[in-house]
Amino acid sequence: MAPAYKLTYFDGCGVAETSRFLINYGGIDFEDVRIKQEDWPQWKPKTPFGVVPLLEHNGKQVGQSIAIARYLAKKVKLAGNDDWEDLEIDAVVNTVQDLYQKLVPIFSEKDESKKKTLIETAQKESLPYYLSRFEERVKKNKGYLALGRLTWADFYFATMSPMFDLLTGGDNLAKYANLKGLREKVNGLPAIKKWIEARPKTPF
């Protein structure tokens, strides 16, 4: 019998890894479809809006990484218990996304001099601004980013923060013990640890 869910993304962690973490945490059977970069031109026209990841279930197909992760979080009981709790989680997730979007231009910049300037700006401004505030949140929330307990916001941070390092070439959590501890805590969950050990080794 085919898995109930199919998750399609590039052959890397990227913005699909939060959903892969959630799926594995919940023990959900799924097909992990990975697109090679050279095959993307053939895949792109088949997607609703020309982007991945895509989640398929019961013949239906949906895109957008955060929307997919939010849906899966509800399935595995890592969402809020009411609308306000969901709002708190969403606010954290969207703020992590804000930081990521500030760093994305580093990836696309081809001029090495300009890229170096972007990295320096990120390390001096964007990263300290956001990470220091996330650090305080974790300190005040019993070791988590929201609600004083494990939520999908913690999974989102644990899977997105390695890309901060990849883009800037530094260990950006080195000065933030609580954030580093949070990522280690998520990665150390039995189901997540098993997934990390088994997943394909990729550059990103």
Confidence band of 99 (pLDDT split at 50, 70, 90): very high
pTM: 0.95
Tokens matching residue 73: 């979080």
Q: Give yes or no for residue 10 having a pLDDT over 80.
A: yes
Handedness of CA 148, 149, 151, 155 (dihedral sign): positive
| Overall average pLDDT of the 60-73 stretch | 96
**Mean pLDDT value of segment 187-198:** 97
CA-based nearest residue to 18, from 68, 58, 55, 90:
68
Instruction: Quick: pLDDT tens for 143-164.
Output: 999 999 999 999 999 999 999 9
pLDDT of residue 121: 96
Domains and CATH numbers, the chain: 5-77+191-198 (3.40.30.10), 83-188 (1.20.1050.10)
The alpha-helical segments, DSSP class H, found in the chain are: 17-25, 40-43, 65-75, 83-108, 112-121, 127-140, 152-168, 177-187, 190-198
pLDDT of residue 69: 98
Mean of pLDDT over the chain: 96
- Res 1: pLDDT: 65
pLDDT tens per residue, range 16-47: 999 999 999 999 999 999 999 999 999 999 89
Q: How confident is the model at residue 3 (pLDDT cuts 50, 70, 90)?
A: confident
State yes or no: cis peptide before 53, omega within 30 of 0.
Answer: yes
